[in-house]
Amino acid sequence: MTLMLRIRLALVCLTSLFSLIQAFSQNLCLTTEMVQKAFQADPHLQIEFEAFNQWIAEHESQFIPGSEANYVIPVVVHVIHDNGMEYISDAQIADAISILNEDFNKLNSDANQVVSSFLSRVGNVGFEFRLAKKDPNGNCTNGITRTQSYLTYNADDKAKSVSYWPRNKYYNIWVVNSIESSGGGIIGGYAYLPGTAPSAATDGIILDNRYTGSIGTADGSNFNARVITHETGHFFGCLHPWGFNACGSGCGDDLVADVPATSGSCNNCNLSQTTCGSLDNVENFMDYAMCSKMFTTGQASRMNTVINTSSGQRNSLWQSANLIATGTQTGFTQNCAPIADFHAEKTTACTGSALLLSDRTTNATPTSWSWTITNGTQTFTSTDQNPYITFTAPGDYNVTLTVGAVGGTNSTTRQKVIRIFDSNSDDQNWIYFDTFNNNPLNYGRWTATSTPDSPYGWETSSQVFYTWPNSLKVNNNGSPLGKKFTLISPSYDFSALNGSLRMSYRFAYAKRATGSDDRMLISISSNCGQTWTLRKTLMANDLASSGITTANFIPASKADWRSDSLTGTMLQPWANRTNVRLKFEFISGGGNHFYLDDINISGPLSIENEPNAILPFNLFPNPAQRTVTLAYSLDQQSHCSIALFDLSGRELFAWSDLAGSKTSGQHAQELQIPDHIQAGTYLIGLNLNGQQHLQRLILN
């Protein structure tokens, strides 16, 4: 059988057996599936890959075992994180690179423990991987980038867009929280074979943090530690020993002569395994065995041939000029200035809480730290690397961190990064309706987290609203993928509520393309946001209230809005709590603007005759003295009446002179509170065609 025929048969198997991958895959490597997707999207890639394999077969005989050129490969590791376990340490990254260098140079301590049948075939690839010391702009770097993004979860190629360095200069490695798998289970990583990546910006390998090295979040097992070696083997052209089949699905061919045909060792270590008529090379790094120790001489030959090809620009990495450009030439040293950064364990808490601030400085190892935390009237300082600060006064706190290292000093300041709330709730009873008058993000009732990606994120919109005068908007059209924009409500006192609890809201949103993947997470907390319980997740299809819009989305009418609610068990556990907050987290996924309006919290049915209604009116000012304006909008002519109630639902006063038929459109009516009504909390009722709507009024 000719090599070309073998290649074509293998690629036919790749297509015909793709459906079996989910059934047989042992949750290690997603390379076969990702390459198949690339071929389906661009059939020309498959044609080029056939030609590439033919060229390799004709030239790999030129490599003579023992003549390794010791190619140096500049590496950059991109840590894509959401401040979770995936934020692995520099030490864990260094450990992974050390394992990679040992395995590619036959220096791993278990290389001489290979079963005797394959001991003579153990190959030395001769590649050395070095973390870059210069970034693409020539600046000093330690070869590690760290970027916060929600794309770290169930990551795929989109996560790579968060941070990427040119593939002709760097071997890109991405580390994430988890990798997306249509078949479920944990995926350790995946790579694109040379010339098969959908784009230059997706070429490299992506690793689950738990399969990166042997320390830190990795469990230290052979299986986990060698995933980086396995995926790097793919990057330089090695296939699984079973070729393009799925592990365990049948005999396959990896196009390397000294690797026996096998159906694979799927998470086992049976050294006497024979699946295709001869002893399997179970300990091969490209298998799924739990005791991998070796590449074969043939695999070393294949990779040495690949690194001299232009496919995927592999041959540009080791050129002398590129080593100088990336600071990876032998003997080059420099001490980088640090880039100060930190992470707040919690960004909201009650007074009296102690919060941890963690140094997250990059680019160098700090030797000194100086912290200043202030809300303008109260200031804390510390020289600890990771200080605990006990906050005794409410307010928004700015944090400044200055770090020193051998290469210099650096400072960073974040405004209002921590908000400390009073332990007493803002709203002392459960009746609540908010149309976001008085610019709530400015005067502090609602809290929006700051973002480095200005102008994206939450803002007040006075031009777009469902109920006059404002809505809150996520400026999202063009926002970087995976950014999380957080909005936190005032606190509510539900301690007197024994009946049902319901929160409703309106929103408007449009996708920018079919594949837009924005989402909204709604959570609840009763301890000032120190811990949150997720109550609802709305995906892009759930959010879309209008059709696909590429220009800036602006709802054209009320038909472009949707309403939704949290009811029953979603909220009932908090019905007796005294300090309850809601959190809305919008995750950017390539869509358009999002608008939020008419937050309505209601309780027992005896108080609200229409439990499913979102209150359609606004009161201002609120709190008020003796005069308050009631503003509302009607879609059609309606009969209206207005009354004042106490919190039990008993009517205290009715404005009979304001009752009657009202035309469609916007209305604003001034209400004079009678002198005999004492200061306190009341309900204003707007009755529209027999349906009662209530809103709380605080009378000073």
Distance in Å from the first CA to the final CA of the chain: 92
Catalytic hit among 231, 283, 585, 608: 231
Q: Are 614 and 600 in contact (CB under 8 A)?
A: yes
Q: Return the bridge partners of 414, or none.
A: 399
- CA 527 from chain centre, in angstroms, equals 25
Angstrom distance (rounded) from CA 534 to CA 519: 13
- CA 440 from chain centre, in angstroms, equals 27
Angstrom distance (rounded) from CA 467 to CA 555: 13
**Which phi and psi angles does 315 have, rounded to 5°?**
-75, -5
- Provide CB contacts within 8 A for 634, sequence distance 6+: 662, 663, 664, 665, 667, 688
Angstrom distance (rounded) from CA 698 to CA 173: 57
Q: Are 429 and 696 in contact (CB under 8 A)?
A: yes
Read off the amino acid at residue 411: S
Angstrom distance (rounded) from CA 618 to CA 113: 77
Give the chain's count of helices (H) and strands (E).
13, 33
Q: Are 260 and 270 in contact (CB under 8 A)?
A: no
Angstrom distance (rounded) from CA 307 to CA 301: 10
Show the tokens assigned to 100. Answer: 């990679």
DSSP 139: -
Query: E strands of 392-483, at which residues?
Result: 395-405, 408-421, 432-434, 447-448, 457-461, 471-475
Angstrom distance (rounded) from CA 277 to CA 262: 9
Angstrom distance (rounded) from CA 360 to CA 84: 13
Angstrom distance (rounded) from CA 356 to CA 349: 11
Angstrom distance (rounded) from CA 268 to CA 252: 18
| Catalytic site includes residue 231 | yes
Show the tokens assigned to 672. Answer: 């004079």
- CA 375 from chain centre, in angstroms, equals 30
Distances (CA, A) of 186 to 78, 207, 433: 20, 11, 44
Q: Are 56 and 237 in contact (CB under 8 A)?
A: yes
So which residues are the catalytic ones?
231
